[in-house]
Chain A
Amino acid sequence: GQNIDQPTEMTATEGAIVQINCTYQTSGFNGLFWYQQHAGEAPTFLSYNVLDGLEEKGRFSSFLSRSKGYSYLLLKELQMKDSASYLCAVLNRDDKIIFGKGTRLHILP
């Protein structure tokens, strides 16, 4: 079966750092995506990892370990506008993108 697990909700403080974890068990692996979705809006692309390691893009970084079926999204210097849902998604061997249920991140002032 296909399974992507991520925490349902997280809370962090403005200016802090937060790490959102994602574990996956899918039929094959061809890459992992992170998307951000603000309430009532469309998801927007954040990152794509296909090889092990850390990809950094400004305040956001994404890490992948294929052997452990694990990824995390690291958000630094949190801002109020970072309050959103963060979706982890895996491209499996059938070229289907399987999404996790998302992590709702609340930022406190």
Chain B
Amino acid sequence: KAGVTQTPRYLIKTRGQQVTLSCSPISGHRSVSWYQQTPGQGLQFLFEYFSETQRNKGNFPGRFSGRQFSNSRSEMNVSTLELGDSALYLCASSLDYTNTGELFFGEGSRLTVL
């Protein structure tokens, strides 16, 4: 069974640009959540999608957005990049809502903003 796949794995952007990250969940998993991981703050919840609907949202500015497609694949977008957006962005999938089972994480997309 293939795991959670995130693309791209590494990317470098400059301030003011925008970026789109992609996540393909495990086949059959309907819930996808996104996290930002930095050395100082640890893992911080961005948002969760279930059946193409945003079910929950963390405390990030509106520059961070996401969506989920009918095949459960998800994308997140960050506009007007800032230096502080440099981080590892992790996607996690689960069969149902995240509160009913374990999360399966992808390897992450490491974003560097210059």
Asked if residues A44 and B43 are in contact (CB atoms below 8 Å), the reply is no
Contacts of A30 in B (CB 8 A): 99
Which of B44, B55, B56, B107 touches A99 (beta carbons < 8 Å)? B44
For the complex, give the distance between the alpha carbons of A45 and B102 in Å.
6
Which of A41, A42, A94, A100 touches B42 (beta carbons < 8 Å)? A100
Within B1-31, which residues are at the interface with A (CB < 8 Å)? 4
Contacts of B66 in A (CB 8 A): none
Residue of B nearest to A89 (CB): B43
Within B49-108, which residues are at the interface with A (CB < 8 Å)? 55-56, 58, 90, 97-99, 101-108
How many positions in chain A have a CB within 8 Å of any CB in the partner chain? 22
For the complex, give the distance between the alpha carbons of A101 and B43 in Å.
7
For the complex, give the distance between the alpha carbons of A96 and B102 in Å.
13
For the complex, give the distance between the alpha carbons of A31 and B102 in Å.
11
Contacts of B104 in A (CB 8 A): 45
Asked if residues B98 and A97 are in contact (CB atoms below 8 Å), the reply is yes
A33 interface residue, CB < 8 Å from B? yes
B residues near A (Cβ < 8 Å) are: 4, 33, 35, 41-45, 48, 55-56, 58, 90, 97-99, 101-108
Q: Lowest 5 A-B CB distances belong to which pairs?
A: A101-B42, A45-B102, A99-B43, A42-B105, A43-B105
